[in-house]
Structure formats: C-alpha cells, structure tokens
C-alpha cells in the first residue's frame, strides 16, 4: 500500500524533535547529532537562532500574508538590501530554488524579446548541473536520472561540459539568450571550475550579447565565505537565482537582476501568490542582519580554511577511503573511494549528519555559524569512521 506521504524520497529512519545551533536532537533517544547537512545548505544560521526566532514570532503576531496585490514594506526593505549588497538593481521574490531559476529563465527570454530579438530564447547549460525539479529546470540540467518517465522535456536548452569555455563558445548561435551555470556545482559533486572560468563566461556573454545567469541557490548567501560566490572571481553577472540559505529554513527564493536584464519584466508578466510575504521577508531580513554583521563572513572564511586543511589531512591519512576534498568556503565535499551512501550512513550512526552528491561525494554543509570546535568534532567523527572502515579492510 502506498504510504500517506508519497514515497518520492529515500529517507533515513530518523526524526528530530528540536535543534540548537549546529546540533539536532532525535525523537527516540534524545541523541545529539552534529548537523553538517543543515537542511541541504538551508539552515544558514543553524537551528533556533535567537534572532530568527524573535523575527519570526514577532512578525507572526502581526501579519503573515497579504499577497502582492498590495505593497509589502518588508519586501521593499529586503530588496533594497539585496540590491545594495550585490550587482543587482532589482529583485523578484518566490518560494524555492526551482522557482527562482524558472523566473530567471523567463526573465532572460523576455529580455531579448523586449529588445526586439525574440528568436534569442535558448539557454546554454552545463553537464552535472542541478537547477530544481520543475519540468523547465529538469530540462535545463538534462540529467537522465531525474528525467526518466517525465518526458517530453521543455525545449530551449543546449548543454555543454561544465568548465569548458571553448565548447561553450562553440554552442552559441543566433538563438542563444543566456548562459545558466552554478558557480560551484552542488548536487553535481561540489565541482569548482578553474579560476578564470567565470571571467571567461563574462567576456563571452558580453561578446555575444548574452545574459550571464548564475544559479546561486546553494552557493549564495555566504556559503562560500562571500555573500555571493561570483564575488570571488571579480565579475558581475546579469541575473542570479538564489534560495536555500536566504530564508534560514523558511521557504523562499529570489531572482536578482540588473535593470537592463530585467527590462522586459513589467506588471502582470510574472507572479507568485506567496512570494515575498511578510513572514518570509521578516525571517530573511533577520538572516541578512546576521550574515551582513561585522566580521561574520570573515569568520566563515577563517573557519572554512581550517576545515579545508583538516579535510586535506583526512584525505592524506585515509587514501583508501577518501580520494580528495572539493568545494569552496563551507560548501565542501569529500570524494569517496568507498560508496558515498554507506559513508553518509556510517557518519550519521556516529553522530554526524551529511548529504551525498553525485560523483561519489559526501557533502559537508555546516551552518555558517559553525565554530572551530564543531569542525574539530566533525573531523574527529570522519577520522573515526574512516579508521574503523580501514581496519575492516575498506
Ligand atoms: N539550484 C541549485 C544549485 C540547487 O542546489 C537546488 C537544490 O538543491 C535548486 C536549484 C532547487 O532548489 P529547490 O529545491 O529549493 O527548488
């Protein structure tokens, strides 16, 4: 018999009652877990952060939702702050990463049609990417595993190998509207392109009059140690989609764009019933208060650097278990030699929550509030599991 909850997930048989900072506590035994999954890079400030709890409860007592038929001052405030702290001039709010990417894809098509070139509708995407589970975002990523039985796909995407500028340039035609890419691939295995790659994309987009559209759903909001991953490459995109960490656990997403990129987006052309409601905006403004606070991102960077050094040590110490570490900031992964799913299970049993990615990678995505002592604790668990596995002949 089909369970009441549609069985679309392979879930671990564990549930949690509450969380505190970087820890989660389980239903059955009150056991404490170190949460380096963070709701898949969502709980950017950990669990039950006092500033978020206060913002949410205060707003909950006042006003939750009115719809976008009316002005929403909290939304205007958040948009202005995001504009101030990014390349963008304007922001659209929605409820998830896939919706943000969808909105961005509509925006780039509309940009060209408003500019008198409606034939420019195709978007170049990369192998190994993940942009969400809607038909459009699945078609963009073109991952056969995710598409099985869901055809026909949405037309309008041309895929090239991730990180290869020459092949990308060769795929550009008079119908190309934009390049859509994750600055660091998350689900695809924490893949970081070469240092010059984003700069090459920027130059290519300028040369061919394309929009550079970055999917910062996972890499954005401080995850890499800067507010946006693109900042590391000193470039400015035309559009980004973001979600996950921006709500700290409250479902929300956003598309940020330059005025020029968004030139076609006028009243009535796109919308969302829930997008940008008062509750979501209150929480997200509170997330920004913390992330933009003095020294916060600098500390993320510092903790990330020592975590990375320790991961390097683990790879050296257990070459039969780990092949390499990958990623940027606190968006990290260990490419395993042993099966990554089994590694995730063993780590969980030992008290560390992680999440797998493609290419046999286990992702380590702690809350951005993680301290050195938590990193030490995680590395000790990783070392213990690797050592036990080694002694079993793993
Ligand atoms: N884009 C990227 C880079 C992601 O990592 C994800 C989710 O993992 C998405 C888009 C989709 O986000 P959501 O699950 O909120 O729709």
Residue 304 has, within 13 A of its CA and on its CB side, a CA count of 26
- Ligand 1 centre to CA of 303 (Å) is 25
DSSP 250: B
- Ligand 1 centre to CA of 67 (Å) is 24
Q: Which two tokens stand for residue 353?
A: 């929550």
- Ligand 1 centre to CA of 315 (Å) is 28
Confidence (pLDDT) at 394: 61
Nearest-CA neighbor of 87 among 203, 214, 189? Answer: 214
pTM value?
0.98
**Per-domain boundaries in the chain:** 16-48+295-391, 63-291
Atom of ligand 1 nearest to the CA of 133: 16
CATH architecture of 63-291: 3-Layer(aba) Sandwich (3.40)
In this predicted model, what pLDDT tens digit does every residue of 93-137 receive, in sequence order? Answer: 999 999 999 999 999 999 999 999 999 999 999 999 999 999 999
Counting ligand 1 atoms within 8 A of each CB, the residue from 41, 218, 253, 254 with the most, and so the one to mutate, is 218
- Ligand 1 centre to CA of 10 (Å) is 18
Residues 179/168, Cβ–Cβ less than 8 Å: yes
**End-to-end CA gap in the chain:** 38
Q: Which two tokens stand for residue 394?
A: 């793993």
CATH of 16-48+295-391, one of 3.20.20.60, 3.40.50.720, 3.40.50.300, 3.90.1150.10: 3.90.1150.10
The Cα angle at residue 325 between residues 379 and 331, in degrees rounded to 5: 80
Cα Dmax for the chain: 66
Give average pLDDT by consecutive 10-residue segment, the chain, 394 residues: 96 96 92 98 98 98 98 98 98 98 98 98 98 98 95 97 97 98 98 95 98 98 98 98 98 98 96 98 98 98 98 98 98 98 98 98 98 98 97 80
Segments in the chain forming alpha helices (H): 38-41, 50-62, 73-84, 97-114, 135-141, 144-147, 165-170, 197-208, 278-291, 296-317, 340-349, 372-391
- Ligand 1 centre to CA of 69 (Å) is 27
Q: Which two tokens stand for residue 294?
A: 């003095």
DSSP 154: P
Confidence (pLDDT) at 28: 81
Distance separating alpha carbons of residues 153 and 134, to the nearest angstrom: 10
Counting ligand 1 atoms within 8 A of each CB, the residue from 126, 136, 217, 219 with the most, and so the one to mutate, is 217
Residue 222 CA, chain-centre distance (Å), reads: 10
In this predicted model, what pLDDT tens digit does every residue of 334-390 receive, in sequence order? Answer: 999 999 999 999 999 999 999 999 999 999 999 999 999 999 999 999 999 999 999
Bridge partners of residue 212, in order along the sequence: 179
Ramachandran category for residue 245: left, alpha or beta (phi over 0 → left; psi -120 to 50 → alpha):
alpha
Counting ligand 1 atoms within 8 A of each CB, the residue from 104, 132, 356 with the most, and so the one to mutate, is 132
Nearest-CA neighbor of 12 among 28, 4, 1? Answer: 28
- Ligand 1 centre to CA of 187 (Å) is 9
Confidence (pLDDT) at 148: 94
């Amino acid at each position: 018999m089909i369970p009441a909850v549609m069985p679309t997930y392979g879930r671990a048989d564990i549930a949690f009652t509450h969380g505190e900072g970087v820890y989660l506590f389980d239903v059955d035994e009150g056991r404490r877990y170190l949460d380096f999954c963070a709701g898949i890079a969502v709980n950017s400030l950990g669990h039950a952060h006092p500033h978020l709890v206060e913002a949410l409860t205060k707003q909950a007592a006042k006003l939750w939702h009115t719809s976008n038929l009316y002005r929403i001052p909290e939304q205007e405030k958040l948009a202005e702050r995001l504009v101030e702290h990014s390349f963008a001039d304007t922001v659209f709010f929605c409820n998830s990463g896939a919706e943000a990417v969808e909105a961005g894809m509509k925006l780039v098509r509309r940009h060209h049609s408003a500019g008198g070139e409606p034939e420019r509708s195709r978007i170049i995407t990369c192998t190994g990417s993940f942009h969400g589970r809607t038909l459009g975002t699945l078609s963009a990523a073109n991952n056969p595993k995710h598409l099985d039985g869901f055809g026909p796909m949405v037309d309008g995407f041309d895929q090239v190998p991730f990180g290869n500028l020459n092949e990308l340039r060769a795929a550009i035609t008079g119908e190309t509207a934009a390049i859509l890419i994750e600055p660091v691939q998350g689900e695809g295995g924490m893949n970081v392109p070469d240092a010059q790659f984003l700069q090459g994309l920027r130059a290519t987009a300028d040369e061919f009059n394309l929009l550079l559209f970055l999917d910062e759903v996972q890499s954005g909001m401080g995850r890499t140690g800067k507010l946006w991953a693109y900042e590391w490459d000193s470039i400015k995109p035309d559009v980004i989609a973001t979600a996950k960490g921006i709500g700290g656990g409250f479902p929300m997403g956003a598309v940020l764009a330059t005025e020029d990129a968004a030139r076609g987006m006028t009243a009535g052309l796109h919308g969302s019933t829930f997008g940008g409601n008062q509750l979501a905006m209150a929480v997200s403004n509170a997330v920004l208060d913390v992330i933009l606070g003095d020294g916060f991102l600098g500390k993320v960077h510092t903790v990330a650097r020592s975590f990375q050094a320790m991961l390097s040590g683990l790879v050296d110490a257990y070459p039969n278990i780990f092949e390499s570490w990958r990623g940027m900031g606190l968006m990290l992964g260990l490419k395993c030699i042993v099966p990554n799913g089994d590694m995730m299970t063993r780590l969980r049993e030992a008290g560390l929550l992680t999440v797998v990615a493609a290419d046999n990678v286990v992702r380590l995505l702690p809350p951005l509030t993680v301290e050195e002592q938590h990193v030490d604790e995680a590395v000790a668990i990783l070392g213990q599991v690797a050592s036990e596995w080694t002694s079993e002949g793993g």
